[in-house]
Amino acid sequence: MPSFDIVSEVDMSEVDNAVQNVTREISTRYDFKGSNSSVEVKDGGLTVLADDELKLKQVQEILRGNLSKRGIEPGQLDYGNEEKATGMSVRQRITVKAGIEKEMGKKIVKSIKAEKLKVQVAIQGEELRVTGKKRDDLQAVMQFVKDMGLEQPVQFKNFRD
């Protein structure tokens, strides 16, 4: 029986590469001379430290650009609240979302069942397994999920015929 998995994955090595590019760009830009701005990878997320809110916004913009060049979509980042750090500096925690949460998984399953497509969808941890009798049905599900406009990007893996 043909099947495939719906997953939401992030390549953390690409995140590391993007952070290194951001650090390099911050060190060479004139408007960041003498500032204490940095981006660090910690615990599956990012921590952005800047002198003030303006520099924080600039670092975020540089980070978004570098991540998108590396194939990481903005929907996979969850920006936390800005908080005061030592002195006048500002810190922000950015979480990298990986895996499909239960609520989002249930929403996808419910939408697929409402379309009355001839497939079965099973939630397996942080991914969804879709099985059907025909390859065309599975491709219709893929297109339907792409057109749903989910806030978190998803990928399709392990297509088996």
Residue-wise pLDDT for 61-119, tens only, equals 999 999 899 888 888 888 888 888 777 889 889 888 888 888 888 888 888 888 888 88
Query: pLDDT-based confidence at 14, cuts 50/70/90?
Result: confident
Please, which residues have CB within 8 angstroms of residue 73's CB and are 6 or more apart in sequence?
Answer: 153
Average model confidence (pLDDT) across the chain: 86
Which residues, listed in sequence order, are joined to residue 90 by a DSSP beta bridge? 50, 84
The residue written with tokens 């290194």 in the block is: 20
pLDDT confidence of residue 159: 80
What residue type is 45 in one-letter code? G
**Model confidence, pTM:** 0.77
Domains and CATH numbers, the chain: 3-8+99-160 (3.30.70.860), 12-96 (3.30.70.990)
Q: Which two tokens stand for residue 78?
A: 């969850």
What distance in Å separates the CA atoms of residue 132 and residue 2, rounded to the nearest whole number?
6
Closest-CA residue to 131 (of 139, 118, 143, 119) = 119
Which residues, listed in sequence order, are joined to residue 95 by a DSSP beta bridge? 45, 78
Stretch 4-32: mean pLDDT, rounded?
A: 87
What distance in Å separates the CA atoms of residue 19 and residue 104, rounded to the nearest whole number?
28
What distance in Å separates the CA atoms of residue 37 and residue 59, rounded to the nearest whole number?
8
Query: pLDDT-based confidence at 35, cuts 50/70/90?
Result: confident
What residue type is 77 in one-letter code? L
Cβ pair 112, 119 in contact under 8 A: yes
The stretches of 70-128 forming alpha helices (DSSP H) are 102-114
pLDDT tens-digit readout, 131-147: 888 888 888 888 888 88
pLDDT confidence of residue 98: 83
